[in-house]
Chains A and B, each alone.
Chain A
Amino acid sequence: MKRVLEGSHAVAEAVRLANVQVVSAYPITPQTHIVEIISDYCAKGKMNAKFIPVESEHSCLAALVGAQSAGVRTFTATSSQGLALMHEILHWVSAARLPIVMVDVNRALGPGWNIWTDQTDSLSQRDTGWIQLYCEDGQEVLDTTLQAFRLAERVNLPVMVVLDAFFLSHTYEPVDVPEQKEVDRFLPSYSPRFNLDTRNPYTLSPLVTPAFYMEMRHDMALAMDEAMTCFAEIEEEYAALFNRRYGSVEAVTCDDAEIILVTSGTITSTTRLLLEELRAKGEKVGLLKMKMFRPFPVEAVCRALGRAKKVAVIDRNFSFGAGGVFAQEIKAALYKLPVRPTVFGYIAGLGGRDVTTDILEEIYIKTRETDLPSQESIWIGLQEVKYAN
C-alpha cells in the first residue's frame, strides 16, 4: 500500500519488514528519525527485536559484531562523524564476513559544523570492504534496504545503504510499503552460515599469519565481485514480486547522447527534470545514475558512457588532493576503453548547498562549450570570500 512516508520512515519500515533481530544505534542528526521509529517499534512489540542503546558508534557496531556472530540479523544507522568513528569496526565486520546492513545518512564532516548532506562520509569508507548502494527517493530507500539483507547474506559482506540528509531523510513522499507476507517470500528469516555455538566451539577472527592472510583477503575480493552478479539476480527476484528494479546504474537516454551527466543520490531526480527540458530543446544529453559504488560497476559504466563525447560527473563530495570521488572512479573505469569520452569533474552542493536545475544547466552548458576541462575539479557556485586579516 502506498503511504506518505518520510525517507527515514521508509528505512524503518524496511527494517521492520526484514525481521531484524538486533538493532544497535547511537543517535546523530540526520539519522535520528530512523532509530527513533525503530526503537519505538521495538518498545511497542511491532518488531521482535532487541534494541541496544550504546555510548558511541564504535560500540554500536562492535555490539552488532557480537550479535551477528551469535547468528542473528542485525541493523544500524549512522551519519557523518558517527560513521567515521565506526571506521575501525567497518574493517572488522567485512573481514569477519558478517552480513550486517547499515544505513548511512550522508552528512558533511566537521569542523565547520554542518548537519546537511555531503557524500564524503560514506565515500571515504570505500576501502573498508562494505558494499555501498546510493538511493534517490523514499521508495528506492525501502526497496534497497530489503535487498541489502539478501545481498549481504548471500556474499557474507556488509552492505551500506546511503541516502542524502534532509533532501531524502526528512522528506515526505508517497512510498509503496509491501505486505509482510510478500517480503517474507523475498527475504526469509535469517539462517546464518556460521554462528557462535557452545556445542560446536571455534575461534572467530584468530591470528592469520602471512601464510593465509592474502588468501583470506582474496576471498573477500571474490565475494565483492560476486556481489555484482548477485545484485542483478536479487533485483530480478524483487522485480518479479514488486515490479520495481533500479540496476547497479541507470542510464537515461544515453544511447545517442553526446554529453552524459553522471549523478548519485537525490541530485539524480533534479537532473531528470533538467533532462526532460534539454531533450525537449533537442539537446543530445543523457544521464547516468550511479546506485552501486562498491563493487564499482565498471562494465555497466563503460557500456553507458562509451559512446559519448563528454561526461560530466557531479560530485557532492571531495577527496583532497585528488578530486571528486565518482569522477576518479569513472575515469579509472573508462581507461580500459580504446576510445574514451572526455571526463569533466564538477564539485557541487557540498555541505547541503542546494543543487538546483539552474546549477545543473550551468554544468551542462560549461561541458558543452569547452573541449577540455579547465581543471581536474571544477567547483560550481563558489562565492568570493573575504579573508580575515
Chain B
Amino acid sequence: MNTPTMNLKPLFMPRTHETTEGNKTGSWRYLRPRYEDKTSPCSTACPAGEDIARIEMLSAQGFFKEAWETILRENPLPGVCGRVCFHPCEGVCNREGFDSSLAIHTIERHLADTAARNDLKPALEKLASQPQKIAIIGSGPAGLSASWFFTMLGYACDIYEALSEAGGILRWGIPEYRLPAPVLRTEIGRIESQGIRIFTGKHISESELNKLRGNYSTVFMGCGYSRSTPLGVSGETSESVKDGLEFLRSVRQGEKPSCQGLSAVIGGGNTAVDVARTVIRLGGKAAILYRRRRQDMPAFAEEIAMAMEEGVALHELLAPGAIEAQGDQYKLILRKMKIEGQDKDGRGRIVPDGDKTSEVTVERIFTATGADVAEPWYNPPSDKSGAITLSHCQIKFDKEGIPLVYGGDLTNVTKNVTQAIASGKQAAMAIDTYFQQGRDAIESRLASCRVGDGLSLSMEVYMQGARRLRSSHIVQPEEINTDYFQFEARVVQPRLLVEERTGSFNEIDMRISANLAIREASRCFNCGLCNQCDNCYIFCPDVAVIRGRNMEDRHINFDYCKGCGLCAAECPRNAVTLEREGL
C-alpha cells in the first residue's frame, strides 16, 4: 500500500516487547511500607477525643454534615464546644510550629451552626436496645453527654433536672453573649430526639435517689458545682457578698439586677470574668480582684483581654481580708500579696507582702473564687471501698450491685464543659462494659479505647468503628512533610466591636462563611490520616501502589514494592509506616 516505505531495513532501536512484569522487584525489599492511620495530637488533647484530623479533612472537602456527624460520635455538643471550650486541641496543633495552629473551634462551631441552620438530622450508628434503663440527675454537660452515649449503646435514659430548663451551667452559668440559649436548645433538642426523656423542675432529694435506684439499673449523678464557695473573711454575709454563679443564673433567668456603681469581683477564673463582664453590660463598673497575677488566672486569656477592652479593671496580688459595711456601701480591706518561688503547677507562689493592705469602697462584692456542690450528699462518699475510681467518674455499687455513678464536676480534676462531656462518655462505656462483660473487664476495655496515650476515650473505637485501626502513635511535627504545605494565615474570628458588645448580651463571636471554613480546614495537616492525596501513588517508582474506590481499598502490591520508602517519605501526613521486613 505504502510504496515509499516498503523494503525497509529493519531497525535495531531501543524498544522491547518484554515487560518488566517478570522482574519482581518485591524480592529486593527489606523494608515494608504499611498504610497505617495514626493519631493526631489534637485528638489526644481533646478531652472528648474528637477525631479532629478527619473532621477537618471532611470539612475541607465540603462534607459538612459528615464532619459534624464525626464530632457527634464523640461529643454531643459541638455548638456549645465550638463556642466555650478552651480548645486544648489548638495548643498542641502540629501546624503551630509551621505558621499558626488551626482554628479548630471555629470550624467546629461552623459545622454545628450549619447543621442547625439546615435542620440536619445526624445518621449515627446505634447499638441494639438493651434492657437496662439509666437515670441521670442533672442536665448539665456531664448528664447530657452520659445520656447521649448511653443511648448510642442501646440504653433508655431519663434525665432529672431541678431547674425549669435543661442545660445546667450551659444554660444558667455561662452568659448569653458567649453561649446564646437557642444554640443550646438546638443541641438539647437533638439529644432528646434520640429518645431521651428530660424531666425539668424535678429536684431529686437524697431519699428520692434511693427510690430511683430501685427503678433504674444505674443512676448517674451529674449535679455539678452550682454554688460559689464563700470567701471566708470577716464581715462576709449574704448581704455583703453575692454568689457569682447565683448572679449569673439570675441574669440568665431574665432578671436585671441593679449594678450601679462599682462592683468588686473576687477570683480569677472564667466565672469571675463572666460576672465582671455581665456587670458592665448591666451598666455598672467592675473590678476583678485577684490574689495572683494576670498570667496566673485560670480564665481564658482572650476572655480577660476582651473584658479589659470592655472596661473591666483588674487588680493583681490582692487577697480579700475583711469587709466593713459603710451605709449602702462596703469597704473591702485587701491584703497585698507578693510572689515568692513557684507552686507545683508552675505558677508563682504567693505569700502576704508583710502587713501591707489596701482598701476599696464598693457598692457590692461578688465571689467567684471557686464552686462547690449545692448539697453535700452530691459528693461521692469518701469511703471508696468496693468503688471503681476512673479518671472522670467514680462507680459505687449498692448491696444489689446496682451501680451509682458520680461524674462531671463531682469527680473531675479539671472542671470544665469538655471534661464533663468526657465524664459522661466514660461512664457510659464503663457501665456498658460492666453490664456486658462484668466489672473486671472495665479497665482493659476502656484502655483499648484511648485516643493516643492520653485520657481521652473514643466512642467510635468502643463501638468498633472504622477508626479503631488508627494506631496510638501520636504524629510529631517532624513527621509531617511540610514541603507539601504552604504558609497560610489562620482565619481571623470576626467579632462585635467593643461598643456593640458592652451595650447588649448579643453573641460576640460572629459566624464565618463556608468558604472561610473550607479554607481554614484545608490548612489542617490531617496528621496521620490518609486523605487519598495520591502522593504515594505518584512517587512509587515501581507502580506498586494500588488505588481503590475508598481508603480501605488502597494497598501495596508486594510483588513489586522494593521497599524504597518513597511512599513514606513523600506522605505529607505520616499515614504510611515503614517497618523492617521479617524473615
Contact = CB atoms under 8 A, between A and B. Distances in A.
Contact of B15 (A153, A194, A222): A194
A73 interface: no
A204 B13 CA distance: 9
B2 A216 contact: no
A191 B2 contact: yes
Contacts of B3: 188
Given A201-B19, A203-B20, A153 B5 contact: yes
A202 B17 contact: yes
Contact of B2 (A95, A156, A188, A215): A188
Interface in B10-39: 11-20
A237 B557 CA distance: 56
B13 A97 contact: yes
B15 A203 contact: yes
Interface in A183-197: 187-188, 191, 193-194
A219 B12 contact: yes
Nearest to A149: B4
A96 interface: yes
A193 B11 contact: yes
A203 B19 contact: yes
A205 B1 contact: no
Contacts of B2: 188, 191
B214 to A, nearest CB: 76
Contacts of B12: 215-216, 218-219
B4 A150 contact: yes
Given A156-B11, A219-B11, A193 B16 contact: no
A111 interface: no
A140 B16 CA distance: 39
Nearest to A233: B4
Interface string A138-165: 0000000000001001101000000000
B14 A202 contact: no
Nearest to A194: B15
Interface string A207-232: 01000000110110011001000000
B542 to A, nearest CB: 14
Most buried by A among B4, B16, B19: B4
A206 interface: yes
A194 B11 CA distance: 10
A366 B3 CA distance: 51
B8 interface: yes
A222 B9 CA distance: 10
Contact of A153 (B1, B4, B19): B4
Contacts of B1: 191
A206 B12 CA distance: 13
B14 to A, nearest CB: 5
Contacts of B9: 222-223, 226
Contacts of A201: 17, 19
B14 A206 contact: yes
A154 B20 CA distance: 31
A202 B8 contact: no
Contact of A97 (B11, B16, B17, B20): B11
Contacts of A206: 14-16
A216 B11 CA distance: 9
A99 to B, nearest CB: 10
Nearest to B2: A191
Given A203-B19, A203-B20, A154 B5 contact: yes
B15 A202 contact: yes
A203 B14 CA distance: 8
A205 B13 CA distance: 8
A54 to B, nearest CB: 22
Nearest to A215: B12
B5 A216 contact: no
A202 B17 CA distance: 4
Nearest to A226: B9
B8 A208 contact: no
Nearest to A98: B13
Contacts of A194: 11, 15
A150 B17 CA distance: 27
Contacts of B17: 201-203
A95 B11 contact: no
Contacts of B19: 201, 203
A95 B13 CA distance: 7
A204 B5 contact: no
A216 B8 contact: no
Interface string A267-280: 00000000000000
Interface string A114-126: 0000000000000
Contacts of A156: 11, 13
Given A154-B4, A188-B2, A191-B5, A216 B20 contact: no
Contacts of A223: 9, 11
A156 B3 CA distance: 16
Contacts of A97: 11, 13
B8 A204 contact: no
B16 A203 contact: yes
Nearest to B4: A150
Interface string B120-135: 0000000000000000
Contacts of A95: 13-14
Contacts of A203: 15-20
Interface of B: 1-5, 8-9, 11-20
Given A154-B8, A156-B13, 10 more contacts: A150-B4, A187-B4, A188-B3, A193-B8, A194-B11, A202-B17, A203-B17, A205-B14, A206-B15, A216-B13
Across the A-B interface, give the 6 residue pairs with the lowest CB-CB distance, nearest first.
A219-B12, A191-B2, A202-B17, A97-B13, A205-B14, A208-B14
16 contacts: A95-B14, A96-B14, A153-B4, A188-B2, A191-B5, A193-B11, A194-B11, A194-B15, A202-B15, A203-B16, A203-B18, A206-B15, A216-B14, A218-B12, A219-B12, A223-B11
